[in-house]
């Protein structure tokens, strides 16, 4: 039986200077039956020239006017001819044997729909300084819906997915411009997706930089997260009180994120209203939440952010030396 085709979908918008590294990590896979689809979502940098100069005969390149990540991913899925789907963002990397290991696992375990790897993070160009993705305690097999509600832990390039199953789930949601993956994987899990974490020592790399950090510090990001939860709740059986309680706690976490973002944006009334509401709905990380609220009375929001970022960086370094975990939000 011939090796199944894997479609590697790389969506990019002004993805330089890291796009070349990302494409190379896809091209260098030990598994040789892959097609690489680049969807350029209206880039205004030198993306097209980079592809034509370095990869024109090795990838399939498509350009569309800027419509957002969801639209680009949907186009990639529409163009994909493979039996399996591998997503890869333009600033992230996958290791040499990732796809080979995952294809072999899915071929041997035909009831599994999505297999996923561990992940490590690094900052900007610091590839030699890697941190374990702190969501590892949430990894689970089988039905992971409740785990995904509790904490988003699955990044798109961690997974290799059966395309036939993904087709059941439907498109990425084009009405939101962030929390796209959160929405998608929750819907995959809700549709009955059978997940498996393959603990084979392999890990993908997620690059942390200013753009992906800043996107999580604005109120629209949290508003989109709450919209995702609301849409998911509409699909839940009204009698399923356990999941509804979990959604309520998760909503509390998102409301705190929104309140913290409002604080950064100078909307202090909305900020305190959200942060206090969060304490009522979800008392997890209580010390941290109270610390943020207390500090906001005598520190400028930017100063709080700088302080928290420095603290997180120190904790990252300390915990990576002590037990391999990164404090990451």
Whether residue 291 is contained in a domain is answered as yes
Whether residue 307 is contained in a domain is answered as no
Which one of 188, 214, 240 terminates a domain?
Answer: 214
In whole angstroms, what is the distance from residue 114 CA to residue 105 CA? 10
Q: What is the pLDDT of residue 170?
A: 92
In tens, the pLDDT along 254-290 reads 999 999 999 989 999 999 999 999 999 988 878 778 8
Say yes or no: 25 and 161 in one domain.
yes
In whole angstroms, what is the distance from residue 169 CA to residue 187 CA? 7
In whole angstroms, what is the distance from residue 262 CA to residue 268 CA? 7
Q: What is the pLDDT of residue 108?
A: 96
Q: Which residues contact 141 (CB under 8 A, 6 or more apart)?
A: 195, 196, 197
At which residue do the structure tokens 């949601």 appear? Answer: 173
Q: What is the pLDDT of residue 323?
A: 46
Q: What is the pLDDT of residue 254?
A: 94
Which parts of the chain sit beneath pLDDT 50?
A: 323-329
In whole angstroms, what is the distance from residue 11 CA to residue 69 CA? 7
Q: What is the pLDDT of residue 309?
A: 66
Say yes or no: 172 and 224 in one domain.
no
Q: What is the pLDDT of residue 7?
A: 98
Say yes or no: 135 and 55 in one domain.
yes
Which one of 186, 214, 242 terminates a domain?
Answer: 214
Whether residue 42 is contained in a domain is answered as yes
Whether residue 292 is contained in a domain is answered as yes
Q: What is the pLDDT of residue 8?
A: 98
Say yes or no: 275 and 249 in one domain.
yes
pTM metric for this prediction: 0.88
Say yes or no: 203 and 229 in one domain.
no
Say yes or no: 26 and 155 in one domain.
yes
Say yes or no: 68 and 209 in one domain.
yes
Q: Measured in whole angstroms, how far is the alpha carbon of residue 147 from the centre of its chain?
A: 15
Q: Taking Cα atoms as reference points, which of 103, 195, 119 lies closest to residue 153? A: 119
The full length of the chain comes to: 329
Whether residue 236 is contained in a domain is answered as yes
In whole angstroms, what is the distance from residue 115 CA to residue 306 CA? 37
Whether residue 311 is contained in a domain is answered as no
Say yes or no: 174 and 264 in one domain.
no
Q: Domain holding 27: CATH number?
A: 3.90.550.10
Q: Which domain holds residue 281?
A: 218-298
Q: What is the pLDDT of residue 328?
A: 36
Say yes or no: 225 and 169 in one domain.
no
Say yes or no: 176 and 137 in one domain.
yes
Q: What is the 3-state secondary structure (H, E, C) of the chain?
A: CCCCCEEEEEEECCCCCCHHHHHHHHHCCCCCCEEEEEEEECCCCCHHHHHHHHCCCCCEEEEECCCCHHHHHHHHHHHCCCCEEEEEECCCECCCCHHHHHHHHHHHCCCCCEEECEEEEEECCCCCCCEECCCHHHCCCECCHHHHHHCCCCCHHHEEEEHHHHHHHCCCCCCCCCCHHHHHHHHHHHCCCCEEECCCCCEEEEEECHHHHHHHHCHHHHHHHHHHHHHHHHCCCCCCHHHHHHHHHHHHHHHHHHHHHHHHCCCHHHHHHHHHHHHHHCCCCHHHHHHHHHHCCCCCHHHHHHHHHHHHHHHHHHHHHHCCECCCC
Whether residue 305 is contained in a domain is answered as no
Whether residue 72 is contained in a domain is answered as yes
Which one of 196, 214, 232 terminates a domain?
Answer: 214
CB distance 5 to 103 below 8 Å: no
In tens, the pLDDT along 62-113 reads 999 999 999 999 999 999 999 999 999 999 999 999 999 999 999 999 999 9
In whole angstroms, what is the distance from residue 264 CA to residue 202 CA? 38
What is the total count of domains within the chain?
2
Say yes or no: 187 and 43 in one domain.
yes
Say yes or no: 16 and 100 in one domain.
yes
- Angle of CA points 140, 145, 148, to nearest 5°: 70
């Amino acid at each position: 039986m011939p090796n199944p085709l894997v479609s590697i979908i790389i969506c990019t918008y002004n993805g330089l200077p890291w796009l070349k590294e990302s494409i190379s990590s896809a091209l260098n896979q030990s598994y040789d039956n892959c097609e690489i689809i680049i969807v350029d979502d209206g880039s205004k940098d030198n993306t097209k020239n980079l592809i034509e100069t370095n990869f024109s005969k090795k990838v399939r390149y498509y350009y569309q006017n800027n419509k957002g990540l969801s639209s680009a991913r949907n186009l990639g899925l529409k163009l994909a001819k493979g039996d399996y789907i591998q997503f890869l963002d333009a600033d992230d990397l996958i290791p040499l044997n990732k796809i080979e290991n995952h294809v072999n696992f899915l071929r041997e375990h035909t009831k599994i729909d999505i297999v996923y790897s561990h992940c490590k993070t690094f900052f900007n160009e610091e590839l030699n300084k890697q941190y374990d993705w702190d969501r590892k305690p949430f990894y689970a097999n089988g039905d992971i819906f409740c785990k995904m509600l509790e904490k988003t832990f699955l990044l798109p390039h961690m997974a290799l997915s059966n395309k036939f199953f993904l087709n059941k789930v439907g498109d990425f949601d084009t009405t939101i411009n962030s929390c796209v993956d959160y929405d998608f994987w929750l819907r995959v899990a809700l549709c009955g997706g059978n997940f498996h974490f393959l603990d084979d020592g392999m890990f993908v790399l997620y690059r942390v930089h200013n753009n992906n950090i800043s996107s999580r510090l604005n109120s629209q990001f949290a508003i989109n997260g709450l919209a995702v939860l609301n849409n998911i709740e509409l699909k839940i059986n009204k009698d399923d009180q356990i999941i509804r309680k979990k959604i309520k706690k998760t909503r509390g976490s998102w409301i705190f994120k929104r309140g913290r973002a409002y604080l950064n944006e100078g909307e202090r009334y909305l900020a305190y209203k959200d942060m206090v509401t969060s304490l009522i709905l979800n008392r997890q990380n209580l010390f941290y939440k109270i610390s943020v609220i207390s500090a906001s009375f005598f520190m400028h929001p930017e100063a709080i952010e700088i302080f928290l970022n420095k603290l997180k960086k120190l904790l990252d370094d300390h915990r990576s030396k002590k037990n391999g975990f990164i404090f990451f939000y």
